[in-house]
Amino acid sequence: MLWCTKIRPWITQNSPSEITNLSAAAHSVAHYIRAGTIPQMKSSDPADIPSALKNSIHKRLAPWFQRCKRPMPWRNTSDPYAIWLSEVMLQQTQVATVEPYYQRFLQHFPDIDSLAAAPLEEVLKLWAGLGYYRRARSLHRAAQFIASTYHSVFPCTYDQILQLPGIGPYTAGAIASIAFREAVPVLDGNVMRVLTRLLLIQHDIARPQTRKLLWKIAGSLVPNKNPGDFNQAMMELGATVCTPTRPRCESCPLATLCAARREHLQHRFPVRQSKSATPRISVAAVIIRSPQGRLMARRKPGGLWEHLWEFPAFELVRPTAAGVSKHFFALTGLRIKLKRHPATLAHQLTHRRMEYTLFTGRSLSAAKVELDAKIASPYDAVRWITDMTSVPKSRLTEKISALAG
DNA sequence: AATCCGGGGCT
DNA sequence: AGCCCAGGATT
């Protein structure tokens, strides 16, 4: 239903047209994921990724990994304890940094019992310089937990492993798949990069929804045979080929399938929320002059600029004189013809960017003015003010005052 | 959902 | 020199 492209059955030797079809399959996944909101994929539905595309990924990735994988000390062991140690050390830490620490740690604590019996002080000494020292404390606690609860035998299922301190979804998946051949996925920064490029996933990877989608896709790709090799291959590809900057597409086993590459957009992925993309909010400030000065309102306690006086302002999608006038009337009961001031003013807060548009008007008499309690507003008082220096106000209000004259 | 942890890589 | 990165825990 989702896939526009008809996929031919897999044939060992790919003809050019098949490659085109597979790439188009990746592309149609991309198109589907890109359109509108993030789909709620059913993890039970393996058809989410066309099986021909899945097969092709496995067929290309496995031999590449066997040929190109970097030798690492923890790749020569089947000891779950050693694999666990390596995965915890590899959290947020690069392979080259981890290697010497890993060797040294294993020499001091060759098994769970020796680690569980050691004083925390000794463990931390061996961790010194690696960073994230909570990992060492969690590792130590987990060793004691395994010693007491599992008779020093490392738990062998994803769910049990996930319960250990210092182990989250990534680490549990890595240990379960590598040490126990359980077909569970991993999702780290490398895998996110590979998947978002391969399938041209344009959603912000910082969003929890996007993470969920990526976990599901990773889960639907993990093979039952050698899931650990597949997971390691994806991470290795991200670390050595599908790199954040200048990806080496010419050496990538998945290049012909890659939807981002097909669009020449691989360097733009993954998409993440940039700091400059903080939401922009349009605010209309209203400056009314009367014989008794200008109308100002006091901000309620508990919010932004609490207790400070400012010109009444409204958050609006589109600040038009008519719309602002309506809001202003609802809040204050004053019906005044507003004129848009030519100047606009930007104000950057940590969490949002506010664009101020100024509206000016005149009231011939200093009408009695009260806030309508039924109208939600950030203000708790309003009054005509002749001497601006007599009330506390923010720099922004002073800027507005200077601009509007 | 937001913040912290801490080192290394990149600009 | 300063910004960015991203697994897990905590609040």
HEC per residue, A41-99: CCCCCHHHCCHHHHHHHHHHHHHHHHHHCCCCHHHHCCCHHHHHHHHHHHCCCCHHHHH
A10 in Cβ contact with A22 (< 8 Å): no
Q: Crossing angle, helix A80-90 and helix A169-180, to 10 degrees?
A: 150
Q: Among chain A residues 114 through 143, which have CB within 7 angstroms of nucleic chain B?
A: 129-134
Give the pLDDT confidence score for residue A342 in this predicted structure.
82
Collect all residues with Cβ–Cβ distance below 8 Å to A245 and sequence separation of at least 6: A267
User: Which fold, A276-404?
Assistant: Nucleoside Triphosphate Pyrophosphohydrolase (3.90.79)
| A293 CB below 7 A from strand C atoms | no
Q: Which segment of A56-70, A95-109, A145-159, A273-287 scores lowest on mean pLDDT?
A: A273-287
Query: Domain residues of chain A, as ranges?
Result: 16-268, 276-404
| A134 CB below 7 A from strand C atoms | yes
Provide, in whole angstroms, the distance separating residue A71's CA from nucleotide C5's C1'.
25
Q: pLDDT tens digits, residue range A303-337?
A: 677 788 889 888 776 778 888 888 888 888 889 89
Provide, in whole angstroms, the distance separating residue A214's CA from nucleotide C2's C1'.
31
Confidence of residue A16 (pLDDT cuts 50, 70, 90): very low
Q: pLDDT tens digits, residue range A78-92?
A: 999 999 999 999 999
| A100 CB below 7 A from strand B atoms | no
Q: What is the mean pLDDT of residues A208-214?
A: 91
| A91 CB below 7 A from strand C atoms | yes
Residue A96: nearest nucleotide (C-alpha to C1'): B8
Spatial separation of the C-alpha atoms in residues A207 and A316, rounded to whole Å: 26
Give the pLDDT confidence score for residue A58 in this predicted structure.
97
Taking 70 as the threshold, does the pLDDT of residue A1 lie above it?
no
Spatial separation of the C-alpha atoms in residues A56 and A339, rounded to whole Å: 64
Give the pLDDT confidence score for residue A59 in this predicted structure.
97
Provide, in whole angstroms, the distance separating residue A98's CA from nucleotide B7's C1'.
11
Provide, in whole angstroms, the distance separating residue A55's CA from nucleotide C10's C1'.
41
Provide, in whole angstroms, the distance separating residue A260's CA from nucleotide C9's C1'.
35
3-state secondary structure A109-154: CCCHHHHHHCCHHHHHHHHCCCCCCHHHHHHHHHHHHHHHHCCCCC
Q: Which segment of A35-44, A80-89, A233-242 scores lowest on mean pLDDT?
A: A35-44
| A227 CB below 7 A from strand C atoms | no
Q: Which nucleotides of B are covered by protein (CB under 7 A)?
A: 1, 5-11
User: Annotated catalytic sites of A, by residue?
Assistant: 87
pLDDT exceeding 70 applies to what percent of chain A? 84
> What do you get for the CA distance between the two ends of chain A, in Å?
62
| A3 CB below 7 A from strand C atoms | no
Provide, in whole angstroms, the distance separating residue A244's CA from nucleotide B11's C1'.
14
Q: pLDDT tens digits, residue range A64-75?
A: 999 999 999 999
Which architecture characterizes domain A16-268 according to CATH? Orthogonal Bundle (1.10)
Taking 70 as the threshold, does the pLDDT of residue A60 lie above it?
yes
